[in-house]
């Protein structure tokens, strides 16, 4: 068995592990802590799945080291916002696997080209982060779209004589995911002795929504000074619905600009890859010793201009409501 075969087998194993990690991250399995909380509070036991297997000692050791740093806390926050049942150490391992796997694939696609392998490793470093941010954006958008219906359900419950906690519990049972999952966790925390203010603050930390911040502020103010909470939430629900309607109209008008910016940013990359595969000698002129650092400077300048143009077009399409 020669070296190339060993590298191909290693790259295949890395890609398999990467795929397994991604599938595990997007699964709906509940953690051991969530299962214990639900057993204590006796809420929706029938929807619980089996707890995940105990992690390896290496994962435990790495997770303990990562959680002590500010970087680990940021990773844990981002994973919670994306609703990924992963530990910070598992996420770092996933990044390492993505770097190695994509670098090996790019290295062999480019006929053992070291620059292309390095480019693949750099790209693989950002792939898990892009996936997490994409999940965060979709989940936040879905949560914001469900928020007016949730407020209407809470308002109707309050007017029917429910307490605030009972109205939140009805949201956890009646509303679809992801809003039911988040309010189920709020109710569980309150039943375990956490104050409503702290439980709602934890919810806002997991869901960084401006509309949710307005709702939580109204609930906290009402608990301190009193007032008709149902009337307040009804007014907020109407305001949020109008904001969602205006955002939808703006999204329709700016979609073309956003997709044009993405296509214009990706087009040079596709052209470079096509030229590299079709006429490799022409593209290798950037890396020849005779060219010195001019080729690297030209590629770096092109990358800076592409990135600047992409963010400029996105900035033009972003309109705050």
Average pLDDT of span 301-313: 87
Which pLDDT score, from 0 to 100, does residue 8 have?
62
Q: By mean pLDDT, which of 34-38, 111-115, 140-144 is the weakest?
A: 34-38
Q: What is the mean pLDDT of residues 206-230?
A: 87
Predicted pLDDT at 249: 85
Q: Is the pLDDT of residue 5 over 80?
A: no
Q: Return d(Cα 146, Cα 150) in angstroms, integer.
A: 6
pLDDT tens-digit readout, 259-289: 888 888 888 888 888 887 788 788 778 777 7
Task: Measure the CA–CA gap between 182 and 143, rounded to whole angstroms.
Answer: 10
- Is residue 196 pLDDT above 50, yes or no? yes
Using a pLDDT cut of 70, give the percent of the chain over it.
77
**pLDDT per residue as tens digits for the range 68-85:** 667 777 888 888 888 888
d(CA 78, CA 73): 9
Average pLDDT over residues 23-28: 51
The phi-psi region of residue 263 (left if phi > 0; otherwise alpha if psi is between -120 and 50; otherwise beta) is alpha
Instruction: For helices 229-278 and 210-225, give the axis angle rounded to 10 degrees.
Output: 160
Where do the structural domains in the chain lie, given as residue ranges?
A: 142-247, 248-321
254 CB-side CA count, 13 A: 15
Q: Residue 293 has what pLDDT?
A: 80
First to last CA, the chain: 62
Determine the Cα–Cα distance for residues 116 and 110; give it in Å rounded to an integer.
Answer: 6
What confidence score (pLDDT) does residue 141 get?
87
Q: How confident is the model at residue 108 (pLDDT cuts 50, 70, 90)?
A: confident
Cα separation, 216 vs 287, in Å, equals 57
Task: Give the pLDDT of residue 52.
Answer: 43
CATH of domain 142-247: 1.20.81
Residue pair 120/102 in contact by the 8 Å Cβ criterion: yes
Tens digits of residue pLDDT in 43-67? 344 433 443 445 555 556 666 666 6
Task: Assign 3-class secondary structure to the chain.
Answer: CCHHHHHHHHHHHHHHHHHHHHHHHCCCCCCHHHHHHHHHHCCCHHHCCCCCCCCCHHHHHHHHHHHCCHHHHHHHHHHHHCCCCCCHHHHHHHHHHHHHHHHHHHHHHCCCCHHHHHHHHHHHHHHHHHHHHHHHHHHHHHHHHHHHHHHHHHHHHHHCCCCHHHHHHHHHHHCCCCHHHHHHHHHHHHHCCCCHHHHHHHHHHHCCCHHHHHHHHHHHHHHHHCCCHHHHHHHHHHHHHHHHHHHHHHHHHHHHHHHHHHHHHHHHHHHHHHHHHHCHHHHHHHHCHHHCCHHHHHHHHHHHHHHHHHHHHHHHHCCCC
What is the spatial distance between Cα 62 and Cα 214, in angstroms, rounded to a whole number? 38
**Separation CA 188–CA 99 (nearest Å):** 39
Alpha-carbon distance of 238 to 117, in angstroms, equals: 53
């Amino acid at each position: 068995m020669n070296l190339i075969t060993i590298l191909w087998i290693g790259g295949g194993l890395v890609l398999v592990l990467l795929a397994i990690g991604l599938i595990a991250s997007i699964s709906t399995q509940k953690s051991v802590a969530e299962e214990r909380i639900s057993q204590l509070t006796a809420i929706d036991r029938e929807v619980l799945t089996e707890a995940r297997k105990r992690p390896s000692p290496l994962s435990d050791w790495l997770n303990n080291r990562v959680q002590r740093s500010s970087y680990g806390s940021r990773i844990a926050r981002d994973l919670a916002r994306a609703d990924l049942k992963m530990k910070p150490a598992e996420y770092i391992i996933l990044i390492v696997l993505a770097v190695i796997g994509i670098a090996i694939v790019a290295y062999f696609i480019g006929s053992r080209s070291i620059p292309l392998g390095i480019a693949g490793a750099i790209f693989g470093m950002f792939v898990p982060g892009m996936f997490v941010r994409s999940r965060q954006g979709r989940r936040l958008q879905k949560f914001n779209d469900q928020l007016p219906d949730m407020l209407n359900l809470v308002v109707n419950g309050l007017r029917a004589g429910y307490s605030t906690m009972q109205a939140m519990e009805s949201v956890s049972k009646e509303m679809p995911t992801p809003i039911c999952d988040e309010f189920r966790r709020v109710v569980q925390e309150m039943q375990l002795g956490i104050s409503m203010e702290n439980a709602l603050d934890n919810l806002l930390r997991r869901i960084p929504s401006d509309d949710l911040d307005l709702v939580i502020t109204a609930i906290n103010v009402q608990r301190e000074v009193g007032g008709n909470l149902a009337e307040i939430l009804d007014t907020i629900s109407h305001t949020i619905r109008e904001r969602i309607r205006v955002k939808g109209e703006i999204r329709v008008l700016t979609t073309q600009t956003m997709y044009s910016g993405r296509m214009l940013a990706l087009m040079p990359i596709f052209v470079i890859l096509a030229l590299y595969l079709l006429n490799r000698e022409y593209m290798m002129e950037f890396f020849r010793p005779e060219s010195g650092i001019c080729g690297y400077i030209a590629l770096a300048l092109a990358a800076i201009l592409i990135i600047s143009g992409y963010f400029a077009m996105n900035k033009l399409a972003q309109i705050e409501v």
